[in-house]
Amino acid sequence: MKKTLLIKLIGILISSCSTTQKQSDKDNDFFRYFDENNAEVSQSTFERKRSRREFLAIQGDSINQRKLIVREKRGKITNRPRLESLLEKQIGREIDSNKPIIIVYYPGKDACNSSGSATKESRKKWFGQLEERTHQIANTKPIYIYKDSEGLEKYEGVITWHKDPQEMVENLFFEHHYPCSSFVVIAKNGDYISYFGEFGKEELWEAAVIMGR
């Protein structure tokens, strides 16, 4: 009887493992993966490229698609004066047309920007360092723009965020919801460098140097 019971238990375990594996395979089959050129790739290829700093993973055209994008984008806008005018009205001060416009963009609450252990003191220190060095480089400071204010409570007393005027910042520079926050630096002639997703101070400073030349 013990032998029969043991055989039954082994059978149950094998069946359970088989069911779990099938479910895992089914879950993996649910997702489709695309590289930065919008070519479909395997999950392993996707994850390998995703681990590199220059790439960011976002949702594709549907909820079961994952797509890679290049974090940094360079381009040119022809309507910087219009952008200046809208930003000036929103932030309540003039913008020097001979200096870069530096925008930190918050897309709304997500898993990236609502996690972490940062305190108000550490945020003050981080943004204080960001602004001090940015001012040394470009003689200006970032403008903080948001699409959706949910989750911004933790920045009270640290920095002031402003609503995206007529959604112009989003329409010009941020096609998708990029996790955490992003930035764009716009030169006086309209050339710009945008950086998508969570960034370090150094990335913004480097862009400010280039766009301030």
Q: What integer is the mean pLDDT of 107-135?
A: 96
Angular region, 190: left φ>0, alpha ψ -120 to 50, beta rest? left
For residue 79, what are its two tokens?
């309507």
- Residue 29 pLDDT level (bands cut at 50, 70, 90): low
Q: What integer is the mean pLDDT of 173-194?
A: 97
Which range, of 22-26, 166-170, 196-200, averages the lowest pLDDT?
A: 22-26
Q: What integer is the mean pLDDT of 125-151?
A: 97
The helix/strand/coil state of 24 is helix
Model confidence pLDDT, tens digit, residues 150-170: 999 999 999 999 999 999 999
Q: How many Cβ atoms are within 10 Å of 172's Cβ, its own excluded?
A: 19
Task: Give the whole-angstrom CA distance, residue 184 versus residue 203.
Answer: 10
Query: What is residue 61's predicted lDDT score, i.e. its pLDDT?
Result: 83
- Residue 26 pLDDT level (bands cut at 50, 70, 90): very low
Which range, of 40-44, 91-95, 113-117, 132-136, averages the lowest pLDDT?
A: 113-117
Closest CA to 146 of 109, 117, 175, 118: 109
Query: What is residue 141's predicted lDDT score, i.e. its pLDDT?
Result: 95
Provide the H-helix boundaries in the chain: 2-30, 43-50, 80-91, 120-138, 168-173, 201-211
Query: What is residue 3's predicted lDDT score, i.e. its pLDDT?
Result: 52
Q: Which residue has the higher pLDDT, 145 or 14?
A: 145
The helix/strand/coil state of 174 is coil
Query: What is residue 126's predicted lDDT score, i.e. its pLDDT?
Result: 98
Query: What is residue 119's predicted lDDT score, i.e. its pLDDT?
Result: 95
Kindly report the average pLDDT of the chain as a whole number. Answer: 89
Q: What integer is the mean pLDDT of 50-58?
A: 93
- Residue 25 pLDDT level (bands cut at 50, 70, 90): very low
- Residue 20 pLDDT level (bands cut at 50, 70, 90): very low
Query: What is residue 22's predicted lDDT score, i.e. its pLDDT?
Result: 42
Report long-range pairs for 57-62 (Cβ below 8 Å, ≥24 apart). Answer: 58/176, 58/177, 58/178, 58/179, 59/176, 59/177, 60/32, 60/34
Query: What is residue 4's predicted lDDT score, i.e. its pLDDT?
Result: 54
Does the pLDDT value for residue 108 go beyond 60?
yes
Closest CA to 179 of 123, 117, 109: 109
